[in-house]
Structure 1
């Protein structure tokens, strides 16, 4: 077992989110048997037989505990730098080769506990000059080579608990280290502790644990431990045989903590031991777990201890005490902390603690008390009172009389069913009240008047069914309120009024419905930072939107937990449920049985960083859902039945560095997805339905090429498709066959793309206008062929083709003259085109449904796409039918080069006349006359048209 204060230095298994690294490059990496959290490598519980070879060269710590490693070889850690801890505990190591740790020059801690080492060789720890902690507990070590610790000059803590050391001389190489502070050699079959076997000079040791050794003698004949502060002799001796031989009491004068629990010493020798400390600085004495023969004389030991004037902590745990008489502590006035827990105390005298005038901390948990002892009323100096795990069923208004100095009161796990309004009336400065796991049904007025300085209140695990208005209104200083695991179904408006300083509110595990969480319920909680309403019965109708969002007043809330609603989930998350939570940083909404999320769900939470919506049945999400979340950095999407993550590609998640999408139905991961997450450093895709074929080649190569993104447990990803690969590992498939095919495909694709680019550039620069013209001719030809046999009589005299910028002239001049004065019927696109019909069909029908086409040409006209199409269709009709159907009307002077895109029209203008609007100041009569003649001309051969045979401009 590990001694108090010295735990196995293993890295926590909890998730430690990795900081954002490179942003410009996205590459993947995965260790075959390990995970990495903030440069702490975790390889525990993977049935490893050797040290993994793919560990990065520089890490903070390496944890390979709980595996099947049997040997540490010389080159296992070559060229690696581990700064803090190497944890090799809980393996099957029987041998460590010399110089195996030679390269770990900066290592601070090494844990070899719970292995099968039998010997510490001369060169086992060579190179560990900066190591400060060494765990060798729970091995089979019986021999330590004399020079094995010679170079460990920085070592401060050594744990050799539970080994096979029989003689103190084996630890001499250790105790002589210049900076050694703590030595734990508990349970090693040591039968003698004699100072001459340790050293012949003073050593710096401050903590010495000799517990659970069958010591027959404890002998100090020289002052070799002048700095010893903590001495543990618990469970030492055998059948009352341990003898105490301390030549000079001053040898132990510096000891502050002494543990004699379960000590196998005779009553006489126990008295001698205690008397050795009467003139010392002993401050903490533990006399727990004394055997029945010794425990009956507990009053004798307490009486002796009363002469230790410096004593402030006295522990009498598990000593089979049933009753505390008046005289037990009669002579003991100095302790400040008294621990009587884990006894069978059911009664005590009213004056049992009268003499304890300095007592500040009293622990009486795990006893058989049925009420608060009257004796505690005499403890006016008490700060902490622990009465947990008893049988107290009722609290009286006078139970805490005279305890006005009480700061912490612990009453959890009793049988209290109600709280009277006056029960806490004397506790003016109480800061912590733990009364969870009782049977409280109603609060009455217990928190309406008193406890103005209370900061923490734990009422979880009771039977409260409702919270009424003002139940906690006197708790002005309260910062944490725990109401988890009650039976709360309703909360009145103003239920938490008065709790202006509350920062944590826990309401999980109740029977709260959506009707019970209203805005007015949480009003007044202006400083609330965390709210948990998980595991309740909150549900909403499909597509519901709330009239009064419940969290609207919680503008400073940072964390919201609503996961696991019972029994069937929330069904729907209203789009405005989070309205008002502008400071929210984290939300946990997993396992609430929702199938979709409205795109506006998170528009109220622009500062959200962590989003957990796992264990729902989404199949997909809309990218717009994430657009209001520019700071999102961690997303949990496991167990959602996703078959694709395309929605993440367009979600703009540039700051996300933690993505968990395990237990879904993903088959193929492409580069587009990974490149859409430029800051990703942690990716968990365990238990998906991967395809193990060429479709996943990019993903496999991305995982193998270590750089930025850790793909957790990628080497354990199993194939599901195709069926012949089912059960294989994704990273084990042969991708070489894919590489050849892909290379050839990439070559052909790249070559074709280059050729097309060159050809396109050539055609654009040299033939672009001819191609545009040919396109429109072909289009007009198609429409003309389609309608040639079904052509009806002309519906209009002329179709007017013009640009919208010339519309004022068309409406103000042309339309008034031709329709108003001359009586022609014109077709105008803004007036006569059929709504809903394709525009090209409207153009073609207008041209072929009119006798003539008037093109009102200007510079803007030539730049318009649709005007270009109209003139192309009209000119095609002219050239195809050889009929006089086209009238060109120029509003302004246009150089010939601007007509070059219309090659056939330019050619036509060279041999035929056209109309030009007179310049400013010129008379327009001749213009209108010529236009009238052109319109009156029938659809005859163009050679017979008198207008089109002239060579002079009109």
Structure 2
């Protein structure tokens, strides 16, 4: 058995880092003396619940250099639930750690700077409640170089004022080089800052005026950030307060003495003009951020850039005019002086025409390699102008409205200057990020290519060769997320003879021609994913034979096209090494007999195949047998596979990576991994695996990584791996409901391979027993380590004995008479239940006749017509009627006779002259008949109405609809009386269930 992981419940990571993040600790963990505490140089306690720090918390860590305590007791405004919290720190908590160099106390409710050791180099006090800094705040911190105190007074962390930095408060920090005081409601730059400062960040305060004396003695300053101090609120990404003046007031000589300045940030300061004198003496300035101002006119005529010959990066993004889109944009002549410029950001200026005059003065710049022109509402662009730039590597024209390209001679200088302005509706002025990350992995590969053009997210509907005139050196082109619905036939990209990467994802391309893209002889990567609209058109065929003709193609994506039918039966290529076929329907294709069985077999050198999200319910051996033998990486993630024939891996002799995550496997059974397989990585996470057969992994001698996380495993057994366990570099068993019984064998095994199990100290958790559910497998309580079965048996017997001993006397005392009564009541019910089980032939009467004796005509009809017809004139088929005056027993109560008559008769016959007013014996009899329906589930009611023209109650009308043959009307004509008696005999002798209308109900059924 291996030793327990050191530093439980935390995890030891490389380079002396002990990770205790997100463990909900309420105090600093005390590591035992047996652990190598002297090896800890970095302790991270982020996002716990430590509210109190004591003098002895860190003294046992003699070599601690870095300590991170972020997000333990956040200020009220920053707390997710806005709970108030105040962190207390004893005086010697950090003083005792004499080796401490980096301390992060951000996002904690502290109000003063605690005593700190003189060894400290980096200190972060951001997003706290520290509002005052004076000369006593940083005593003896002569080694401190980095001080961050951002966000101590702003809209998320309000303070009803501002942070106060008293003059000279930081002057004693003689080695301080980086000072950040952003988001603190400062109204001026703190005075008497240490002259050693190289980085000063005071953005997003309320400093509305800067003069030379505000930056006095900061001659070493290399980076100055004063952005966001007089904001343009129409483009604000967070709550914005108007600064009360037109723009930030800058004295002409504000920066003259900052000769070492390399970076200057003046963004979001409502600047309308640039004073050339601001930049005098800034010979070393290499980065200038002027974004989010009002320089839309200034950049067309300014001379401020004439002396910035060292400037390498210039950001002018979102200097648009409110609600206006310009017809054209001509940059000022002074841009030609930026001979060192490498990157220019012109996003969000809002102009509609891009031609050779727009960027005329940028063309001769020898070092310009990146040009951003996103989100400008450009609808016409002369792309050929980029062919004249000597060093251009990236042009980003994404997120515009380009629908076509201009021909070089299409626009004259005069026409370009005569453009009108166009008003914009306010919806287009919503904030947008300054940079958009690459949206596809194919674009990532473009970073190392000499020239990339991004036209994604525009309005292109068709591609024409003249669009790319003079761009033969282009090597990466992104046209994703346009509206291209063109049938590509091999002529669209003729000028792009050196193109290597082409992204056409998220369009509507028609792949019908066999010569598509063959005009690109150097093409290596082609992305055709998310072109599913043509494939969803029923009856339209699609041709993939063009892949055969692309002799240099190595990467192809046909992902998320819902490809399932009417496509080429084979893909053939002698160069393709990676194919992304995810998000299609290979399961349906392979279900069509042998038509698509060899669909991938013609890819002779394919090494990576992605078949994730392909609706695969079953994977037959012949499916794997017809995959390329060169395959090394097979991705079957997120399908519906509940069975996998592991022996069929022998058909893929070079397979090294198999991903089966997110399927429906219930067990790793059906044999084992085959002998001789080269499999190195197996991922079966996020399935429903409950068991693994012994020696399942034992024959895969090259296996190095196994991912069993997020399954239903209750144990991890060494017998699964055999000798392979020695070669494993990663065994992931997180998110499994492990059964943490006392002496569980899997704990011993995991301790032996603990260096290979990620998250073992705190992420491998118990699922049972209930006391340990959700806790670490090392959190077992010794008091639970007993014979569980014996303990449960003893507990159950004891509980039963105690319960009986208490319950019997208590019940006898409290409700003994009730129990006796219930017992005898049950005995009384037994004969009734027995009687209820007897057949209908044992009942003494066929029908109990109920009528109103007060109505002489009704009584006369019953005695002289009904009785005579049914009892005297039917011979052997005579019915036994029960009549009140004749058959009721004298001496019994009315209810007893009534109950016996209804329950002793097969039917209850109601003879009525009318149905709207029923009371007395009739009503009581009807209620008892209904009670019999509820108890015995037998409908015994038959109605005879002597006056058909009388008003019919709702019950009679409903019964006519549901069971018409149980409601009979005495005919007024003598000719119909024969039929009436026949129907009445049928109603009294047959079960009412046969009379119910099947369109409405089936009637009562016996249980």
TM-score when normalising by structure 1: 0.62
Query: Deviation at 1:689?
Result: 4.8
* Rounded Cα–Cα distance in structure 1 between residues aligned with 2:352 and 2:185: 39
Residue 334 of structure 1 is matched in structure 2 by 337
Q: Is the CA contact 1:393–1:417 (under 8 Å) kept in the aligned structure 2?
A: yes
- Secondary structure of 1:208's counterpart equals strand
Residue 419 of structure 1 is matched in structure 2 by 463
Residue 395 of structure 2 is matched in structure 1 by 385
Q: Is the CA contact 2:480–2:507 (under 8 Å) kept in the aligned structure 1?
A: yes
* Rounded Cα–Cα distance in structure 1 between residues aligned with 2:734 and 2:114: 43
Q: Is the CA contact 1:551–1:581 (under 8 Å) kept in the aligned structure 2?
A: no
- Secondary structure of 2:192's counterpart equals helix
* Rounded Cα–Cα distance in structure 2 between residues aligned with 1:736 and 1:721: 16
Q: In angstroms, what is the RMSD of aligned CA positions?
A: 4.6
| 1:437 maps to which of 478, 481, 485 | 481
Residue 193 of structure 2 is matched in structure 1 by 198
1:554-953 paired onto structure 2 within 5 Å: 557-566=606-615, 569=617, 572=620, 574=622, 576-577=624-625, 579-582=627-630, 584=632, 586-606=633-653, 608-622=655-669, 625-628=672-675, 632-649=679-696, 651-653=698-700, 656=703, 658-673=705-720, 677-680=725-728, 682-691=730-739, 693=741, 697-700=744-747, 707-710=754-757, 712=759
Deviates more, 1:281-290 or 1:709-718: 709-718
Aligned residues: 694
* Rounded Cα–Cα distance in structure 1 between residues aligned with 2:512 and 2:3: 53
Q: Is the CA contact 2:346–2:373 (under 8 Å) kept in the aligned structure 1?
A: yes
Q: Could you tell me which runs of 5 or more consecutive residues in structure 2 were left unpaired when the two chains were aligned.
A: 75-86, 154-162, 231-242, 413-448, 536-540, 790-1007
Q: Is it true that 1:253 corresponds to 2:259 in the alignment?
A: yes
Q: Is it true that 1:187 corresponds to 2:237 in the alignment?
A: no
Deviations 1:746-768, CA, capped at 9 Å, x for gaps: xxxxxxxxxxxxxxxxxxxxxxx
* Rounded Cα–Cα distance in structure 2 between residues aligned with 1:426 and 1:315: 28
Q: Is it true that 1:88 corresponds to 2:69 in the alignment?
A: yes
Relative contact order (C-alpha < 8 Å, sep 6+): which is higher?
A: 1
Residue 280 of structure 2 is matched in structure 1 by 277
* Rounded Cα–Cα distance in structure 1 between residues aligned with 2:318 and 2:506: 27
* Rounded Cα–Cα distance in structure 1 between residues aligned with 2:579 and 2:100: 42
- Secondary structure of 2:609's counterpart equals strand
Q: Decide whether aligned partners of structure 1 residues 143 and 611 sit closer, same or farther in structure 2, where only a CA change above 3 A counts.
A: farther
* Rounded Cα–Cα distance in structure 1 between residues aligned with 2:50 and 2:567: 56
* Rounded Cα–Cα distance in structure 2 between residues aligned with 1:156 and 1:554: 58
Residue 239 of structure 1 is matched in structure 2 by 244
Q: Is the CA contact 2:612–2:636 (under 8 Å) kept in the aligned structure 1?
A: yes
Q: Is it true that 1:523 corresponds to 2:573 in the alignment?
A: yes
* Rounded Cα–Cα distance in structure 1 between residues aligned with 2:634 and 2:2: 27
Q: Is the CA contact 2:384–2:471 (under 8 Å) kept in the aligned structure 1?
A: no
Residue 26 of structure 2 is matched in structure 1 by 49
Query: Deviation at 1:213?
Result: 2.2
Q: Is it true that 1:289 corresponds to 2:292 in the alignment?
A: yes
Residue 127 of structure 2 is matched in structure 1 by 138
Q: Is the CA contact 1:61–1:86 (under 8 Å) kept in the aligned structure 2?
A: yes
Residue 870 of structure 2 is matched in structure 1 by none
1:128-527 paired onto structure 2 within 5 Å: 128=120, 131=121, 133-144=122-133, 146=135, 157-163=146-152, 165-167=163-165, 169=167, 172=170, 176-177=174-175, 180-193=176-189, 197-199=192-194, 202-203=195-196, 205-221=197-213, 224-236=217-229, 238-240=243-245, 243-244=249-250, 250-263=256-269, 271-272=274-275, 274-277=277-280, 280-290=283-293, 295=295, 298=298, 302-306=302-306, 308-311=308-311, 313-321=313-321, 322-323=325-326, 329-335=332-338, 336=341, 337-347=343-353, 351-358=357-364, 360=368, 361-372=370-381, 380-381=389-390, 383=392, 384-395=394-405, 407-442=451-486, 443-446=488-491, 449-466=494-511, 468-487=513-532, 489=535, 492-497=543-548, 499-513=550-564, 521-525=571-575
Deviations 1:681-709, CA, capped at 9 Å, x for gaps: 65444454544545x62234555789545
Query: Deviation at 1:71?
Result: 3.8
Q: Is the CA contact 1:75–1:100 (under 8 Å) kept in the aligned structure 2?
A: yes
Residue 939 of structure 1 is matched in structure 2 by none
Residue 957 of structure 2 is matched in structure 1 by none
Q: Could you tell me which runs of 5 or more consecutive residues in structure 1 were left unpaired when the two chains were aligned.
A: 1-24, 743-954
* Rounded Cα–Cα distance in structure 2 between residues aligned with 1:535 and 1:100: 56
- Secondary structure of 2:170's counterpart equals helix
Deviations 1:275-298, CA, capped at 9 Å, x for gaps: 3436634344332222xxx55763
Deviations 1:499-552, CA, capped at 9 Å, x for gaps: 55544333321223488586x5241325x2x43221211116589899975555
Q: Is the CA contact 2:307–2:337 (under 8 Å) kept in the aligned structure 1?
A: no
